[in-house]
Amino acid sequence: MQIDFLSVLIVVVSLVILAVPGFLLVKGKLLNESSAGAISTIVLYGCQPLLVFMSFQETYTASIAINILFVALLATAVHFAMFGLVALLFPNKNDDRKVRIVKYASCFSNCGFMGIPFLQMLFADTPYAGEIIIYAAVVISIFNILNWTVGVYMITKDKTKVSLKKVLLNPTIIAVVIGALFFFIIKQPIAQLAEKGTVLENALSKIMGSLDQVGNMVTPLSMFVIGMRLANVKIKQLFLDKWAYVVCVMKLAVMSCISVLLVVFLPVSVVVKYVIFFLFSMPSATSSALFAVKFGGDSESASVFVLLSTILCIVTIPLTYLIFSGALGAIV
């Protein structure tokens, strides 16, 4: 399997188009910032957990099971490589509120809000469409665990703020655990448990179809929210913050390089390589701004970092993919 540069570019542009309605509705004063928060809640607590759960509705194979382990290990390795790098580049003596957000936004990727929609669109017509979302769900689980532990500590420098309860009760983590139990124990989709042609099979198919539809709302709604947030940032503010460019280089270039170097020579499935590369090439996580508000960080800078990296990724994702897959042959 090989994904070409043009396919990646088309998907990125398509995602941007999905963000346009949200942008226009906010600019037209038909929606406001509180609307973005409400829609974000729907995605995070309703749609994304169902998407993750439904991704595990695949027939069990040993190769997928092994790849799940590889993805978890690689996702953890990429994060900790970035944690170590930002610790070296931005030592504690410079650790003010803004630098804390710089560190956080450099290490945590928008793998949920933008990464999953990207993978769904890129692999929609391939045999790997279902399998690849399983691996994405694993990456998001690692993200959430590290987000509520290392990420919170990065912003607050206060160990008492780290909450294991938040990790355990996170809807996406719960969805991964339940979905994985079905995958490893039942080993086939729920709809296939009933005998073919029976009323029970028909009922299960309809129910699982409904859950699938709600899960698939992640793509349009998440991009809708990104468009709404872009509409609330002043262009001058967006492009004049030098720290924003530091974050963009770290997140969009350095983290992409690290993800490629970790997978390029490993004897793992190319599907795994694609998941790791693309999810860690996404812009800074939207939680940068949310956590900054929640834990007393520099929320204004965090919003700028997220939005500028989101704008620039339109160019950087296709270009980094072209460099690594074309010039270096790193992904293929």
Residue 332 lies in a domain: no
Tell whether 267 is covered by a domain.
yes
Q: Is 34 contained in some domain?
A: yes
Could you tell me if residue 230 is inside a domain?
yes
Its domain, for residue 301, covers: 5-327
Which residues sit opposite 284 in a β-bridge?
109
Domain membership flag for residue 193: yes
Write out the chain's pLDDT in tens, 332 residues.
567 778 888 888 888 888 889 889 988 888 886 787 788 888 878 888 888 888 888 888 889 999 999 999 999 999 999 999 999 998 875 567 888 889 999 999 988 878 888 898 888 878 887 788 889 989 988 998 898 889 888 888 878 778 778 788 888 889 889 988 988 998 888 888 888 888 888 898 899 899 889 988 887 888 888 788 778 777 777 778 889 999 999 999 999 999 988 888 888 888 899 999 999 999 998 877 777 766 766 777 888 888 889 889 989 999 888 887 764 454 54
Domain count, the chain: 1
The enclosing domain of 322 has a CATH number of 1.20.1530
| 149, part of any domain | yes
